[in-house]
Amino acid sequence: MSMKTVVVGGGPGGYVAAVRLAQLGAEVTVIEKRYIGGTCLNEGCIPTKVLLHTAELFATMEKESQSLGLKVEGISCDWEGLQKRKELVVTQLVNGVKTLFKSHGIKVIMGQASFTSENELVVKSSDGKKQIVEFDKAIVATGSAPVIAPIPGVESPGVITSNEALALAERPKSLAIIGGGVIGCEFANVYSDLGTEISIIEMLPNLIPNMDQTVVNVLRGRFERSGININTNSKVLAIRQVGDMTEVDAEGPNGPFTVSAEKVLLSIGRRPVTKGLGLEELGAKMDRGFIKVDKQMRTSVKNIYAIGDCNGGVLLAHTASSEGMVAADHIMNKNAGIDFATTPYCVYTKPELAGVGMTEKEATEKGYKVSTGVFPLNGNGKSIIMGEVDGIAKYVTDSKTGEVLGLHMAGPRATELIVEGALAVRLEATIDEITTTIHAHPTVGESLHEAAHAVHGNAIHVPNKKKK
Amino acid sequence: MAELIRLPKMGLTMEEGTIVEWFVEEGQEVKKGERFFEVATDKISNEIEAEFDTTLLKIIVTQDEDALVQAPIAIVGEAGEDYSALMADVGAAPSSSAPAEKEVEVETEAPAATRAPGEYVLASPLAKKTAKEKGVDLEMIEGSGPDGRVVEKDVLAAGNVKASPMAKIAAKEMGVNIASIQKDGRIMKDDVQKYYRNSRIEDLAEPSDDVQAMSRMRKVVAKRMTESWNTAPAVTYDISIDMTKLMAMKKDLKPFAKITYTDLIVKVLSRVLLKHKALNCSIEGNNIIERNYVNMGVAVATDTGLLVPVVKYSNIKSLGDISAEIKDLAEKGRTNQLGSDALQGGTFTVSNMGMYEVESFSPIINQPETAILGICGIKNTPVVNDAMEIEVKPLMKLCLTADHRVVDGAVAAIFLKDLKEHLENPAVLVI
């Protein structure tokens, strides 16, 4: 008899786990509350990248056409058309997942799941109908939602989260962004490129605090040059609706200030969606709403696993997918593991930011004697051709052994190129393996080769600073 | 083409395995995915499937024989094929099942050299050249030649190790020979560190096995215990005693005499045993010797070992006399002043482990007696009383070991029940 499995949540964690389970011979049912594809496909990774792509093209045409040898006249953003394109891309990808389900014989039930025992759950559909689903093993992949912080006035009509920011009826003329993390920065980039006046208010000393600050500063510099008003070390005190405008009172290093904008985007983090699942009643150990799991993604309730954002590890789609594979393999008695040290962090702004492994700060804090190799993209041919020289490549290595501890990058294609660093970390490569690998010319990727050489102070395409 | 089947490595630390069974006979075909043979190690046993369609030509390591990992265990190929060339190779292959051959090997095989860092490495010119070509560090190789000389095949073996760059660096730093790490797949830094820690664990533990001759007393105890174990088909019976009244009695007696539980139990036992002669007798040849008296042995732990002094005719002694005598005997036992007379003539023995909070044990009969009573600690225990309520009672377990040659189960049970009634109602002592 085949293993009867249920996956609760059809996002990037859940659908990958479901397909994997089916591949390994399990009988699979996916329960989805709202839409197949989850946050990633419907209101996260994918739609933001659609907006970013068009915004970037628009900004390039509008601001750089002359330098690129193009004559562009009368270019404007068709906001409605862009929204339609976004829907189209999302629909195409969602249908892709549905096709995957169908081809693997995966059953889908739409509704809210609630566990009643370690072998049974109840699905309540939107019409109130209830259905009992039995299982041998279940994977919870219910994801996360934007955090609404208890700031006075947070209920003002002008306050939105990333969900609404993706589907505004029209582009706002001004936007205040509370929280300068990955989500905040990506929206800042989209709307700034399209002509919206942007202010970012961030509590910590810099934007995107979890990434290597050298690469973050490249983005910050470009944001500042493009007129984005960045307020770091600033705490939001209150929000207030004044007619069509929304005002944000904050306090920064230079005292209190007020930002007024048509919309205020709240992007201060995400919270787990685990309420109503009935897991706590079954004795699942939780941590501030996140479901606690072990290395095999098992919760403290027998037969039930949890993957992705809802378990509170790294809140990234690709991590959720990898965790889904781990859980599915474990359920089907396959010995598989994922090296989570290889998790890449990507920001799809212009310049793109990407990082894998340890940042310079993390490595130093862990006690490594760190050697870094940094190469600026203004010495890279392809970046100059593309007109995108805002950027650097930076290898973080252990000076004792040469071990590659991390790779961090800002610049065009950074999110694609980071895979070199991920592979280096996975294979425990030293910087010598990078320097002795031939990198194609002319590519942005050459900069990684140069950054590797720079660890020993031997980059070719930088002026010699060593004194003779 | 004929080829060798080698003993698979089934785990990180597996070095050799035993062929449990061949599922295919010589000359028989086996299809990919079919059961081929079964291998066992000290930890696991695995059925191995054929990896391709073939015919089993020759079994080299037969059922129940051992082989080293990667040693040839069989030859497969097309039916009727000539595999003599492979057999010639196999002659030199390591197989722990061929002891004669192995002994010879041991004699000729030079002990692996352990070198200090920077020490000159004895190596053949070809080994040096190959090492240079392959980027293998000669220092890290254990040579198999005379005086630990590194020869080409050692370099090749070391060069074939699949390891991450960091694993190689870590191995060099820690002085670990990476070729000696057994793993399926790529050796990572972690594997080297684990190997190093494991190899260091013995240094850290500094294990020492100290050989000491047995004392005379230990020899006696050992001999007597073994004799009893081998002589008596013994059964141990446990029973719980409600100590409420006996505890009260001990407390009441306290102003007059310091009476122990052992004293009280010996007193009660001496009386009860007279009614249950089977438990107070001994076997001599085909005869059973029954008695109308009780000589009660009381086990005493001393620094040098176990002693069992005897309270003679305890059935006619008062509680006070018994108490004083046990105290005296125990003290003499501990200070090595007991005459052999005090250790002889016992008809029954008690062994009290109550002070150590032991909850149950199975004492060994003191030969030639037929039974021994183990006394356990008193423990407050929830019990269901006659009114079906839960009540906390001080319970004490008694563990009676009896020789089934004389004492049948029912006899032992009736004795225990009688003893229980007496201990739970110590007022009978005054009757």
Listed residues B205, B225, B254: the one ending a domain: B205
Residue B116 lies inside a defined structural domain of this protein: no
Set of chain A residues whose Cβ sits within 8 Å of the Cβ of B165: 427-430, 432-433
Q: Which residues contact A240 (CB under 8 A, 6 or more apart)?
A: A153, A156, A246, A247, A249
Q: Average pLDDT for residues B171-188, to the nearest whole number?
A: 84
> Which CATH class, in words, describes the domain spanning A342-455?
alpha beta
Res B106: pLDDT: 36
Q: What is the 3-state secondary structure (H, E, C) of chain B?
A: CCEEEECCCCCCCCCEEEEEEECCCCCCEECCCCEEEEEECCCCEEEEECCCCEEEEEECCCCCCEEECCCEEEEEECCCCCCHHHHHHHCCCCCCCCHHHHHHHHHHCCCCCCCCCCCCCCECHHHHHHHHHHCCCHHHCCCCCHHHCECHHHHHHHHCCCECHHHHHHHHHHCCCHHHCCCCCCECHHHHHHHHHHHHHHHHHCCCCCCCCCCHHHHHHHHHHHHHHHHCCEEEEEEEEECHHHHHHHHHHCCCCCCCHHHHHHHHHHHHHCCCHHHHCEEECCEEECCCCCCEEECEECCCCEECCEECCHHHCCHHHHHHHHHHHHHHHHCCCCCHHHHCCCCEEEEECHHHCCCCCCCCCCCCECEEEEEEEEEEEEEECCCCCEEEEEEEEEEEEEECCCCCHHHHHHHHHHHHHHHHCHHHHHC
Compute the nearest-CA separation of B174 from chain A (Å).
13
Residue B117 lies inside a defined structural domain of this protein: no
Q: How confident is the model at residue B175 (pLDDT cuts 50, 70, 90)?
A: confident
Interface with chain B: mutation pick from A339, A342, A428, highest number of B CBs within 10 Å: A428
Any A CB within 8 A of B192 CB:
no
Minimal Cα distance from B186: which residue of A?
Answer: A427
Minimal Cα distance from B189: which residue of A?
Answer: A428
On the question of pLDDT at B91 being above 90, the answer is no
**Is residue B225 domain-shared with residue B312, that is, in the same domain?**
yes
Set of chain A residues whose Cβ sits within 8 Å of the Cβ of B162: none
Among B165, B170, B173, beta carbon nearest to A429? B165
Task: Please list the active-site residues of A.
Answer: 441
A110-136 pLDDT, tens digit per residue, is 999 999 999 999 999 988 899 999 999
Task: Provide the percentage of residues in chain A whose pLDDT is more than 70.
Answer: 99
**Is residue B192 domain-shared with residue B162, that is, in the same domain?**
yes
**Residue B407: which CATH number?**
3.30.559.10
Set of chain B residues whose Cβ sits within 8 Å of the Cβ of A401: 166, 169-170, 173
* Residues counted in chain B: 431
Any B CB within 8 A of A430 CB:
yes
Q: Average pLDDT for residues B176-190, to the nearest whole number?
A: 84
**Is residue B132 domain-shared with residue B172, that is, in the same domain?**
yes
Minimal Cα distance from B165: which residue of A?
Answer: A429
Minimal Cα distance from B190: which residue of A?
Answer: A428
Q: One fold for both A4-144+271-338 and A159-268?
A: yes
The bridge status of strand A197-201 relative to strand A304-306 is unpaired
* Residues counted in chain A: 468
Judged by average pLDDT, the poorest of B109-118, B153-162, B327-336 is B109-118
Q: How confident is the model at residue B95 (pLDDT cuts 50, 70, 90)?
A: very low
Q: How confident is the model at residue B429 (pLDDT cuts 50, 70, 90)?
A: confident
Show me where the domains of chain A are located: 4-144+271-338, 159-268, 342-455
**Is residue B352 domain-shared with residue B225, that is, in the same domain?**
yes
What range does the domain containing B225 cover? 216-430
Res B117: pLDDT: 56
A415-455 pLDDT, tens digit per residue, is 999 999 999 999 999 999 999 999 999 999 999 999 999 99
Considering the domain A159-268 in this protein, what is its CATH number? 3.50.50.60
Contacts 24+ apart (CB under 8 A), B225-231: B225/B364, B227/B367, B228/B364, B228/B365, B228/B366, B228/B367, B229/B364, B231/B367
B29 within 8 A of B23, measured Cβ to Cβ: no
Set of chain B residues whose Cβ sits within 8 Å of the Cβ of A430: 165-166, 169
On the question of pLDDT at B108 being above 70, the answer is no
Compute the nearest-CA separation of A432 from chain B (Å).
9
Res A69: pLDDT: 94
Residue of A197, A201, A188, A199 whose CA lies nearest to A232: A201
Task: Please list the active-site residues of B.
Answer: 404, 408
């048509």: which residue's tokens? A262
| A76-90, B47-61, B212-226, range with greatest mean pLDDT | A76-90
**Is residue B200 domain-shared with residue B229, that is, in the same domain?**
no
Any A CB within 8 A of B170 CB:
yes
Higher pLDDT, B329 or B302: B329
What's the pTM?
Answer: 0.65
Among B169, B186, B188, beta carbon nearest to A401? B169
Residue B149 lies inside a defined structural domain of this protein: yes
Residue B115 lies inside a defined structural domain of this protein: no
B403 within 8 A of B232, measured Cβ to Cβ: yes
Judge: B166–A433 Cβ closer than 8 Å, yes or no: no
Q: How far apart are CA B286 and CA B108, in angstroms?
A: 63
Minimal Cα distance from B166: which residue of A?
Answer: A428
**Is residue B398 domain-shared with residue B424, that is, in the same domain?**
yes
A328-357 pLDDT, tens digit per residue, is 999 998 876 788 889 999 999 999 999 999
Any B CB within 8 A of A452 CB:
no
Q: How far apart are CA A52 and CA B110, in angstroms?
A: 69
Q: Average pLDDT for residues A163-191, to the nearest whole number?
A: 96
Set of chain A residues whose Cβ sits within 8 Å of the Cβ of B167: 428
**Could you give the C-alpha distances from B231 to B236, B364, B406, in angstroms and in order?**
15, 11, 12
Res B96: pLDDT: 44
Res B99: pLDDT: 40
Any A CB within 8 A of B188 CB:
yes
A216-262 pLDDT, tens digit per residue, is 999 999 999 999 999 999 999 999 999 999 999 999 999 999 999 99
Res A369: pLDDT: 96
**Is residue B179 domain-shared with residue B224, that is, in the same domain?**
no
Judge: A401–B170 Cβ closer than 8 Å, yes or no: yes
The bridge status of strand A112-117 relative to strand A120-124 is antiparallel
**Is residue B18 domain-shared with residue B144, that is, in the same domain?**
no
Task: Provide the percentage of residues in chain A whose pLDDT is more than 90.
Answer: 93
Res B121: pLDDT: 80
On the question of pLDDT at B113 being above 70, the answer is no
Average pLDDT, chain B: 85
On the question of pLDDT at A466 being above 80, the answer is no
Q: Average pLDDT for residues B137-160, to the nearest whole number?
A: 77
Listed residues B137, B171, B205: the one ending a domain: B205
Task: Provide the percentage of residues in chain B whose pLDDT is more than 90.
Answer: 41
* Interface predicted TM-score of the whole assembly (ipTM), two decimals: 0.70
Judged by average pLDDT, the poorest of A228-242, B113-127, B152-166 is B113-127
B160 within 8 A of B131, measured Cβ to Cβ: no
Residue B94 lies inside a defined structural domain of this protein: yes
**Is residue B274 domain-shared with residue B391, that is, in the same domain?**
yes
Res B102: pLDDT: 36
Q: Average pLDDT for residues A309-318, to the nearest whole number?
A: 93
Residue B158 lies inside a defined structural domain of this protein: yes
Res B144: pLDDT: 79
User: How many beta-carbon pairs under 8 angstroms link A with B?
Assistant: 24
Provide the strand spans (E) within A47-129.
107-110, 112-117, 120-124
Listed residues B154, B178, B205: the one ending a domain: B205
Set of chain A residues whose Cβ sits within 8 Å of the Cβ of B173: 401
Q: How far apart are CA B380 and CA B396, in angstroms?
A: 9
Judged by average pLDDT, the poorest of A406-415, B38-47, B375-384 is B38-47
A370-416 pLDDT, tens digit per residue, is 999 999 999 999 999 999 999 999 999 999 999 999 999 999 999 99
Judge: A433–B165 Cβ closer than 8 Å, yes or no: yes
**Is residue B38 domain-shared with residue B162, that is, in the same domain?**
no
Q: Average pLDDT for residues A137-160, to the nearest whole number?
A: 95
**Is residue B266 domain-shared with residue B415, that is, in the same domain?**
yes
**Residue B19: which CATH number?**
2.40.50.100
- What is the tally of structural domains in chain B? 3
Judge: B169–A403 Cβ closer than 8 Å, yes or no: yes
**Is residue B200 domain-shared with residue B255, that is, in the same domain?**
no
Q: Which CATH architecture has domain A4-144+271-338?
A: 3-Layer(bba) Sandwich (3.50)
